[in-house]
Amino acid sequence: MNENLPTGAPPRQLPGAQPALQGNETDGGMIALRALGSFHVGGNIRHLQGLPATRLVPVPGAPPIDIDPNGAYSVGPMYVQYAKVAVPCSPWPLLLWHGGGMTGACWETTPDGRPGWQSFFLRAGLDVYVSDAVERGRSGFARWPQFFGSEPFFMPQHAAWENYRIGPAGDFSTVPDHRRAYEGSRFPVDAFDSFTRQMVPRWQGNEPLIQDAYDALLQRMNCAIVLAHSQGAGFALQSAMRAPERVAALVLVEPGGLSGVDPAGFASCCGFPLLVVWGDRVAEVPFWAVARQAADALVAAVTAAGGDASTLDLPAAGVPGNSHLPMMDRNSDDVAQRVLDWLMLKNLCSLTRI
Amino acid sequence: MNENLPTGAPPRQLPGAQPALQGNETDGGMIALRALGSFHVGGNIRHLQGLPATRLVPVPGAPPIDIDPNGAYSVGPMYVQYAKVAVPCSPWPLLLWHGGGMTGACWETTPDGRPGWQSFFLRAGLDVYVSDAVERGRSGFARWPQFFGSEPFFMPQHAAWENYRIGPAGDFSTVPDHRRAYEGSRFPVDAFDSFTRQMVPRWQGNEPLIQDAYDALLQRMNCAIVLAHSQGAGFALQSAMRAPERVAALVLVEPGGLSGVDPAGFASCCGFPLLVVWGDRVAEVPFWAVARQAADALVAAVTAAGGDASTLDLPAAGVPGNSHLPMMDRNSDDVAQRVLDWLMLKNLCSLTRI
C-alpha cells in the first residue's frame, strides 16, 4: 500500500487485513498475457426419456424444485483453459494433457507450492492450453449407465503412492511421518497428502468419449505442440495418428495407454519430432515396466522408419530419483528446461519472441 | 512470425500450421501477472474399511491393476486458482464463488467467447481467486454414501433454461432455433448449448463440507473481497458471519441459499459493505421470488442496524433483460463495471495501483 490509494477516505483498516503482495510471489518473473480464459470443446447433446420425476432441494431450507430428468444433456465436452502470452516465442501453442486420476491442476502449482509447468512454459514464451479430460475436473461427468460406461472408481492414497512410484507399496502409511519414499526420491514427500487433494475419480469404458474430445481440441487448435502425461499419452498418440499434420511435436512424459497403438502404424504417419521422458524405478513396478516396453518399441519403430524420435531417460542422463510425476518433483523446473531445450533444438520455439 | 526465429533451420512448415496470435485476442488489454497457479484448501483424510478388492483396467489393453479400496482418502478439499497481478489496485484480493451446477469456469470466458469477469477484474488491477466448490470441477468428489450425502444429481438443459431464467419453462426446445428466450433477454441465447457444456452434477447434503472449505479459504486469505453468485451467496454469508473481520466487502450476485441465514444475526456482525445485484424477471420464477425476499430482508436488517447494505436492481436502474447469469449476459462487462464502481466508492480499490 502506498500513497496512491484514493484519498477521499482511508482504506478500511480491518483486523487481519494485509496487502495482497506477499513474500517471494514474484519469483520466476512476470507473466504478460494477452488473454486468459477457457472454452469447452467436443461432446454432443444426448437425450433421456422414461425416467421418473426428481425433487431437488437446491439449498437447505429453500423450497424444493421438481425436475423432470427426461430431456437433453450435454455429454462429453472437454474443458480447456488458455493463457496466451503477450509476446510468444513460437507460432505453436503448447497443449498440456494430464494423466489418469488427475486434472489440469497437476500443471499449475506443485503440491509443495512451487510454480508448475504451466508457469514455466508461459515464462518461456509459449501459449499454454491446460485441459481437463472428459469425466474429470471442469469437464464434468455424465449419468451412467445411460451415458458413461461404468460407475466412478475412487483411488485410495496407497494406490497413488504405489502407482505413481513415490515409494514401495509396503512403505506407505496413513501416518505421514511413517511413510518411506524410495531412497533418493525427488517427489516432495511431505506434500503427498496435499497432492492427493487434487486426485479425482476415474471411470472405465469412456475412452472413445475422451478421445473424441481430444481430437476436437487438436482440430480447433489447427496445429500445436502436445505434451501428454501418463494416460494422456495414449490419447495424444491416437489424436496424432488421426491428424498428424496438426502436431508440431509430441512430448510423452511417463506415457501410459500405449498398448493399443501399433508401432509400425504410428511410425508411418509420424512426421513430427517425438520425445519420450522417463523417471526412475520404472522397471520396479510391473505396470510401468510394461508401459516402458511399449514406448521403447514406438521410438524404435519411428527411428527405423527414418523419423525423429528420442528417449530422455532421466536416470541414464545422470538425474536419478524422479517419480511418475516429474512435473511435481523437486527438480520439476530442470525437467521442464530439458523439454524446452529439446523444443528449441527442433526449432519449435525461440529464445527471442516472434 | 518474423526474422527473430532461430536461423539454424527454418521452422517446420506443417500443413495447417498457423501463428498462435490471431485476430482480436488482445482486445481488452494486456494482463500482467506476478503469479498464476492454484492450491487446494480444506477437507481432511478419511478412512474406509471392509470393502472388497477392485480390479481396474486403467487403459484398454493394459494389464489390470488389483486395488484394495480400503484405506485413506482425501475428502472435501476445494480447488482454488489464483491470478495475481503485477501491480494491484487493492490490498485485498477478489474471491469469485460460483453457483449451483457450475464451476469456476463460469467466471473465465462467456459462453459466446467474450472475456469473463476474471479477466475484467484482473484488468482492473485486482488479484483474482477462482474456486470450484467441493463436489465440483477440480475439487473432485468422494464416494457416497460413505463420504457424500447422496448420489449426484444431473440437471437437464430444460431445467437450466428455466432456473437460470433464460426463458419461460414452456419455451425451451431441444432444437436451438425453436427456443424462445424472454423478450429482451441479454443472455447469449445462441450460446445456450455451449453454456450447458460447463454444467456439472450436484449433490444434496454436502453443505457442511462445502462450507468448511470456504471457511478455510477465507482463513487462508486473511482478508478478501468476496463476490458470490447464486448458491455461492449462502456459503459466503455463512463464512462472513463466522469471520466478519476477514471480509473487506461482500457482493452477492443473484443470491440463493439465504433461507438459513437469520437477518438480525447477520446484521449484528456485518461491519463490511454489502451489495446485492439482481437481474430481470425475478418475480416471475417462484424460486427466485422467494430468494429475492430473503435478500431484501437481509439488506433491510443491515441498514436498520446502521450497516452499509444496498441493492443494485438492474431493471430498476434502467438495465432490463439480465438473466440469472449476468456474468455471461451480453452486458457482462457493464454489470462488472457497476460492481467495480461500487468497490471504488467504498475505497476498496483504486484507479491507480498501490
What's the confidence (pLDDT) of residue A20? 42
Is there a contact between A20 and B84 if contact means CB atoms under 8 Å apart? Answer: yes
The pLDDT tens digits of the residues spanning A116-154 come to 999 999 999 999 999 999 999 999 999 999 999 889 999
Termini Cα distance of chain A: 36
Residues B70 and B75: their CA atoms lie apart, in Å, by 14
- Among A11-15, A106-110, A113-117, A256-260, the range scoring the smallest mean pLDDT is A11-15
Q: Which residues contact B208 (CB under 8 A, 6 or more apart)?
A: none
> How many CB pairs lie under 8 A apart between chains A and B?
388
- B297 CA to chain A: closest CA distance, Å? 15
Share of chain A above pLDDT 90, in %: 81
Mean pLDDT, chain A, whole residue set:
90
Q: Which residue of A has its CA nearest to B41?
A: A197
Is residue A325 a contact partner of residue A182, using CB atoms and an 8 Å limit?
A: no
Is there a contact between B32 and A32 if contact means CB atoms under 8 Å apart? Answer: yes
Q: Choose among B40, B60, B271: nearest Cβ to A260.
A: B60
- A222 CA to chain B: closest CA distance, Å? 6
Q: At residue B45, what is the residue type?
A: I
What's the confidence (pLDDT) of residue A18? 41
Q: Is residue A9's pLDDT more than 60?
A: no
Is there a contact between B36 and A31 if contact means CB atoms under 8 Å apart? Answer: yes
Residues A112 and B65: their CA atoms lie apart, in Å, by 28
- A287 CA to chain B: closest CA distance, Å? 7
Interface test with A, best of B7, B14, B165 (most A CBs within 10 A): B14
ipTM of the prediction greater than 0.90, yes or no: yes
Q: At residue B51, what is the residue type?
A: L
The pLDDT tens digits of the residues spanning A217-265 come to 999 998 999 999 999 999 999 999 999 999 999 999 999 989 889 999 9
**Chain B residues within an 8 Å CB radius of A77:** 197-198
What's the confidence (pLDDT) of residue B109? 97
- A206 CA to chain B: closest CA distance, Å? 10
**Chain A residues within an 8 Å CB radius of B79:** 105, 198
The pLDDT tens digits of the residues spanning A59-84 come to 777 778 888 899 999 999 999 999 99
**Chain B residues within an 8 Å CB radius of A1:** 91, 354
Is there a contact between A18 and B223 if contact means CB atoms under 8 Å apart? Answer: yes
Q: Which residue of B has its CA nearest to A261?
A: B61
Is there a contact between B31 and A26 if contact means CB atoms under 8 Å apart? Answer: no
**Band of the pLDDT at A325, cuts 50, 70, 90?**
very high
pTM: 0.93
Is residue B134 a contact partner of residue B210, using CB atoms and an 8 Å limit?
A: yes
What's the confidence (pLDDT) of residue B56? 81
Q: Choose among A14, A119, A350: nearest Cβ to B4.
A: A350
What's the confidence (pLDDT) of residue B6? 33
Q: Choose among A25, A39, A109: nearest Cβ to B34.
A: A25
What's the confidence (pLDDT) of residue A49? 95
**Band of the pLDDT at A15, cuts 50, 70, 90?**
very low
Interface test with B, best of A12, A262, A348 (most B CBs within 10 A): A12
Record the cell numbers describing residue A94, joined without a space: 503448447
Torsion of CA A311, A317, A322, A327, to 10 degrees: -60
- B189 CA to chain A: closest CA distance, Å? 16
Q: Choose among A8, A30, A246: nearest Cβ to B33.
A: A30
**Chain B residues within an 8 Å CB radius of A138:** 103-105, 132, 137-138, 198, 200
- B224 CA to chain A: closest CA distance, Å? 8
Q: Which residue of B has its CA nearest to A352?
A: B4
Is there a contact between B140 and A199 if contact means CB atoms under 8 Å apart? Answer: yes
Is there a contact between A92 and B350 if contact means CB atoms under 8 Å apart? Answer: no
- B319 CA to chain A: closest CA distance, Å? 26
Is there a contact between A57 and B204 if contact means CB atoms under 8 Å apart? Answer: yes
**Chain A residues within an 8 Å CB radius of B352:** 4-5
Q: What is the pLDDT along chain B (354 residues), one digit of tens a residue?
A: 333 333 333 334 443 344 444 434 555 789 999 999 999 999 999 999 999 988 888 777 777 888 889 999 999 999 999 999 999 999 999 999 999 999 999 999 999 999 999 999 999 999 999 999 999 999 999 999 999 988 999 999 999 999 999 999 889 998 999 999 999 999 999 999 999 999 999 998 899 999 999 999 999 998 999 999 999 999 999 999 999 999 999 999 999 989 889 999 999 999 999 999 999 999 999 999 999 999 999 999 999 999 999 999 999 999 999 999 999 999 999 999 999 999 999 999 987 665
What's the confidence (pLDDT) of residue A354? 55
**Chain A residues within an 8 Å CB radius of B17:** 91-92, 222-223, 248
Residues A203 and B60: their CA atoms lie apart, in Å, by 12
Q: Give the start-end residues of each E strand in chain B.
A: 31-41, 44-48, 54-56, 65-67, 71-75, 78-85, 94-97, 128-132, 224-229, 247-253, 274-278, 309-313
Nearest to A85 by CA among B32, B228, B139, B243: B32
> Quick one: CA dihedral A199, A203, A205, A207, positive or negative?
negative
